[in-house]
């Protein structure tokens, strides 16, 4: 395993690069099969999910386009208060949209983003997440494509960060208890 500066905070590797690659290929194939002949648009909320998106889109063997948005979440207000800081570049009306996420935790952010996208009248709207921390879910969300169900532990790597770092690790790992307290 390649050592990365700063990876001494890691407790153990949960998903290896090989295991992730195999699952990403399956997800990409499923998305291609379900959207053949449609105007497929993969949409991602910056920043962590771009790592997954980059691999996923190359596993989808059908024409597609990509678009990006960014949101910021506010503390308080009962949670789920989200503001768009960068909107999509193109309209999604009539497009078959798959929203690509790195991890779904409480689901509050995703729930808000989905409500915004739904109002723009896409032909279809589904969710693909690499990781699902399902025991933490607050709002019930339909997830059509799920990579892995993961335990309620803080994870880093493959897009997931600890204070902005470690997104570039090629695997998903748990972090030592004293680092996330």
Residue from 102, 125, 157, 169 binding ligand IMP (CB under 6 A): 102
What's the min distance (Å) between Cβ of 105 and ligand IMP?
3
81 binds, among ligand IMP, Mg ion, none (CB under 5 to 8 A by kind): none
Catalytic residue among 34, 105, 134, 152: 105
DSSP 8-state code for residue 153: S
Taking the complex as a whole, the smallest distance from the CB of residue 37 to ligand IMP amounts, in Å, to: 31
Of residues 158, 128, 160, the one with CA closest to residue 64: 128
Binding flag, residue 166, ligand IMP (CB under 6 A): no
105 is catalytic: yes
127 lines the binding site for ligand IMP (CB under 6 A): no
Stretch (H or E) spanning 84: strand 82-86
Q: What are phi and psi of 28, to 5 degrees?
A: -60, -40
Q: Which of 52, 96, 105, 114 binds ligand IMP (CB under 6 A)?
A: 105
Instruction: Decide the pairing of beta strands 40-45 and 96-104.
Output: parallel
Binding flag, residue 107, Mg ion (CB under 5 A): no
**Under the criterion CB under 6 A, does residue 172 sit at the interface with ligand IMP?**
no
3-state secondary structure of 79: coil
Dihedral sign, CA of 127, 87, 63, 172? negative
Cα separation, 152 vs 78, in Å, equals 21
**Catalytic residue numbers?**
105
Binding residues (CB under 6 A) for ligand IMP: these are 48, 102-110, 133, 154-155, 160-161
Which residues of this protein are in contact with Mg ion, per CB under 5 A? 48
């Amino acid at each position: 395993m390649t050592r990365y500066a700063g990876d001494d905070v890691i407790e153990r590797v949960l998903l290896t690069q090989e295991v992730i690659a195999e699952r990403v290929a399956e997800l990409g194939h499923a998305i291609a099969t379900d959207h053949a002949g449609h105007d497929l648009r993969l949409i991602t909320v910056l920043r962590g999910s771009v790592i997954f998106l980059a691999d996923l889109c190359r596993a989808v063997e059908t024409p597609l386009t990509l678009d990006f948005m960014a949101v910021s979440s506010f503390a308080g207000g009962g949670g789920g208060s989200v503001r768009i800081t960068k909107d999509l570049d193109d309209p999604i009306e009539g497009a078959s949209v798959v929203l690509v996420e790195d991890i779904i935790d409480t689901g509050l952010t995703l729930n808000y983003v989905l409500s915004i996208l739904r109002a723009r009248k896409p032909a279809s709207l589904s969710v693909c997440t690499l990781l699902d921390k399902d025991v933490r879910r607050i709002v019930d969300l339909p997830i059509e494509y799920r990579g892995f169900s993961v335990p309620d532990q803080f994870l880093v790597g493959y897009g997931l960060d600890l204070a902005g770092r470690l997104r570039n690790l090629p695997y998903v790992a748990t972090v030592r208890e004293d680092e996330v307290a």
